[in-house]
Amino acid sequence: MKLSNFKYIAVALILGGIITSCSDFLDRPNEDSYNDSNYYQNDAQTKVSVNSLYSSPWYDFLSRGYYKIPEIMSGNLYMGQSPYLTFTVNGSDPDITSTSNSLWAVNAQANTIYNRLKTANASESVKNTAMGECLAWKAMAYFYLVRIFGDVPIVHDNSSEIAAGDYNSKYKIKAADVYDYIVMTLEKAIELLPESNEAGRIDRWGAKGLLAKVYLAKSGINAGGNGKRDESDLAKAAEYAKDVIDNSGKELLYNYEDLFKGENNNCDESLIGWRWSAEQLNYTCGNCLTSELAPQGFNEYQSWGDWTAPSTDLEDAFGVSPLDNPSSRAQSDTRRKATMMMAGDTYDYWYSDKGGFDYLKFLYDKDYAPGTNDGLQSATGANIAKHLYGDDADHVKTFGISAGKQSSSLSTHVLRLADVYLIYAEAKIGNNESTTDASAIDAYYAVRQRAIKNTNRDEIKQITLDQVLKERRLELAFEGDYWFDLVRMSYYNVDKAMNIIKNQRRNGYYGLADLYKAYYNEGKGNGPWNVDTSKMYYETNTPKPNVTKDIFQLPFPQGDVVYNPHLMEEAQHVDVRETFKY
């Protein structure tokens, strides 16, 4: 744990929990900031005290680790020369530092606000709800930490850490114990949270859904590479997931693409999400992903995602290729277009002031999109479609305010109901290769039939683990998840996880820019589609990365290790339920 991480803790304690309100998804007092002398004095102030945990401390993780770690490393995202693509990340990498700082900042703020809420002058129900939200976010931060770094320290109470003065001499705790700590934290959150909370906020069902996902990951942590997962953990994962599916009253949205529109920021399917605002009350309150992922000129504000491209391997998983004629490309899975834009794709929910968005027209018509580059820059013939709000007219139409550079009001879904359906299906398969369990098939079918409308439930007699894992990949692509599916697999079957990566197509193509430009220029998107296979083909010269068992755990930031050498020592076992109390 590095000193700067504890500066987050110290500042939070010194200020007594000064809160900057970043979002408008709840009723709040007119003032935006309070200090300890006049805060936590009523229900309204107590509710808003947790507001920051839905955005600001997560910002550096969103802009650095959220897509680079789980998407590039997993083979979903192509970013040439990235150390995440080649598994050569080291402790000096700035994105690793930002990721670590951000996640520890979440934990620090959650701990500080949670302890201050105990003495808030508010009704018991409001206090409990706010405290439950703190613990749910704390659990989420630790869930990321343990899946990224493995063994990590546990900082349970910031006040006692600073009082003891030993915050730079903490030892790592074994990952299995960290998982127990996350479970314990979520159990307390579930006890405190109501079944129904204000739109966009975490309720009991969100915490239960997260606990199901934690149990699914935890089930393999002590497997020792024997290919088997703990049956009791699998049963718990299934139990909590099924409870959410059957009893929460929440439903999947009918159209997949609707999930990523601003009007559905706080829909029931979004069980847990980061809630951003472009009001610029604080720079870190806005969603930066359109700037990070959209091609240059996509909107009025700077963006630099031209070369951040959906991978060839993900295109393969969707059953498409950039060499496919757009007029005859497979369109059966609606998630593909909602996930990545390719030649021939149009979107009626972007550029509403221009009659809709046309990908090829955007690339080649300067009157239509004057700020763009000259044609295709993506090495895989596609750009990311998720996490984009359109142009500023679209943002104003949806949110009533303009966006800004690295700042929009579009929510980021962190845990969706569809995820919980697939958690249930995987947990029911458990240590088998497949299942004929009707409830597991129903859960799998509910997700799949939304994306592929002609799916026939009666024709599905069994589902395999590989089918469920592929469904998760397609359903949750670019939502910061697929790498953690592989990490979860590495706990109990590391050879299979490595082989998945070894068999991926992680490179780009030659000749796509010429193919796209000729197709557009000769017929404005309806010209001849002439693929010259001598010039337009998948690149195989770049060697595949060296895949070892070690890739599933990233190194601590160099600065953390300098300040606390104990991080390089063996992790310790802790009985978390005896050691820590809520």
Q: What is the largest CA-CA distance in the chain?
A: 73
Q: What angle do CA 524, 526, 527 make, to 5 degrees?
A: 90
Q: Find all residues with CB under 8 Å of 459, minimum gap 6, and list them.
A: none
Exposure string for 140-165, b = 16+ CB within 10 A, e = fewer: bbbbbbbbbbbbbbbbbebeebeeee
Report which residue type is found at 497.
Answer: A
Determine the distance from the C-alpha atom of residue 414 to the mean position of all C-alpha atoms in its chain, rounded to a whole number.
5
Q: Beta strands 309-310 and 77-78: pairing type?
A: antiparallel
The answer to whether residues 377 and 256 belong to one domain is no
Closest by CA position to 413, among listed 386, 384, 445, 437: 386
What pTM, to 2 d.p., does this model score?
0.94
Q: What CA–CA distances, in Å, run from 144 to 94, 100, 392, 465, 483? A: 18, 10, 32, 23, 11
Last residue of a domain, which of 348, 375, 408?
Answer: 408
The answer to whether residues 155 and 66 belong to one domain is yes
The answer to whether residues 227 and 327 belong to one domain is no
Coil, strand or helix: which one is 40?
coil
- Helix, strand, coil share (%) of the chain residues, nearest 5: 50, 5, 45
Assigned domain for 450 exists: no
Residue 404, strand partner residues: 407
Assigned domain for 453 exists: no
Name the packing angle between helices 438-451 and 417-429 (round to 10°): 140
The answer to whether residues 293 and 367 belong to one domain is yes
Last residue of a domain, which of 387, 408, 429?
Answer: 408
Assigned domain for 415 exists: no
Calpha distance 327→331 (Å, rounded): 10
Question: Is the CB of residue 249 less than 8 Å from the CB of residue 459?
Answer: no
Which domain does 231 fall in, by range?
3-23+31-282+551-579
Calpha distance 79→487 (Å, rounded): 21
Three-state secondary structure readout of 462-521: CEEHHHHHHHHHHHCCCCCCHHHHHHHHHHHCHHHHHHHHHCCCCCCEECHHHHHHHHHH
The answer to whether residues 263 and 186 belong to one domain is yes
Question: Dihedral through CA 329, CA 334, CA 337, CA 338, nearest 10?
Answer: 180
Closest by CA position to 403, among listed 259, 296, 290: 290
- What sign for the dihedral angle of Cα 472, 308, 271, 254? negative
Extract the tokens encoding 357.
């968005």
The answer to whether residues 117 and 234 belong to one domain is yes
Calpha distance 401→42 (Å, rounded): 29
Per-residue pLDDT of the chain (582 residues; tens, 9 = 90+): 333 343 334 334 333 344 444 544 333 333 344 456 567 999 999 999 999 999 999 999 999 999 999 999 999 999 998 999 999 999 999 999 999 999 999 999 999 999 999 999 999 999 999 999 999 999 999 999 999 999 999 999 987 776 666 667 789 999 999 999 999 999 999 999 999 999 999 999 999 999 999 999 999 998 766 789 999 999 999 999 999 999 999 999 999 999 999 999 999 999 999 999 998 767 799 999 999 999 999 999 989 999 999 999 999 999 999 999 999 998 889 999 999 999 999 999 999 999 999 999 999 999 999 888 889 999 999 999 999 999 999 999 999 999 998 999 999 999 999 999 999 999 999 999 999 999 999 999 999 999 998 999 999 999 999 999 999 999 999 999 999 999 999 999 999 999 999 999 999 999 999 999 999 998 777 779 999 999 999 999 999 999 999 999 999 999 999 989 999 999 999 999 999 999
Measure the N-to-C terminal CA separation of the chain; round to a whole number of Å.
23
Q: Find all residues with CB under 8 Å of 503, minimum gap 6, and list them.
A: none
Calpha distance 22→140 (Å, rounded): 19
The answer to whether residues 142 and 127 belong to one domain is yes
Assigned domain for 521 exists: no
The answer to whether residues 275 and 297 belong to one domain is no
Calpha distance 572→277 (Å, rounded): 41
Per-residue confidence (pLDDT) for residue 275, from 0 to 100: 97
The answer to whether residues 181 and 56 belong to one domain is yes
The answer to whether residues 17 and 141 belong to one domain is yes
Assigned domain for 431 exists: no
What is the secondary structure of 196-237 as a DSSP string? S-STTS--HHHHHHHHHHHHHHHTTTTSTTSS---HHHHHHH
Question: CATH no. for residue 199?
Answer: 1.25.40.390
How many other β-carbons are positioned within 10 Å of the β-carbon of residue 90?
Answer: 11
Assigned domain for 427 exists: no
Per-residue confidence (pLDDT) for residue 370, from 0 to 100: 86
Last residue of a domain, which of 354, 374, 408?
Answer: 408
Determine the distance from the C-alpha atom of residue 459 to the mean position of all C-alpha atoms in its chain, rounded to a whole number.
33
What is the secondary structure of 80-131 as a DSSP string? TT-HHHHT---TT-HHHHHHHHHHHHHHHHHHHHHHHHTT-SS-HHHHHHHH
Assigned domain for 159 exists: yes
The answer to whether residues 276 and 294 belong to one domain is no
Exposure string for 363-384, b = 16+ CB within 10 A, e = fewer: bbeeeebeebeeebbbbbbbbb
Coil, strand or helix: which one is 408?
strand
Phi, psi for 382 (deg, rounded to 5): -150, 160
Coil, strand or helix: which one is 554?
coil
Residue 341, strand partner residues: 383
The answer to whether residues 220 and 116 belong to one domain is yes
How many other β-carbons are positioned within 10 Å of the β-carbon of residue 544?
Answer: 14
Count the domains in the chain.
Answer: 2
Question: Is the CB of residue 139 less than 8 Å from the CB of residue 178?
Answer: no
Assigned domain for 488 exists: no
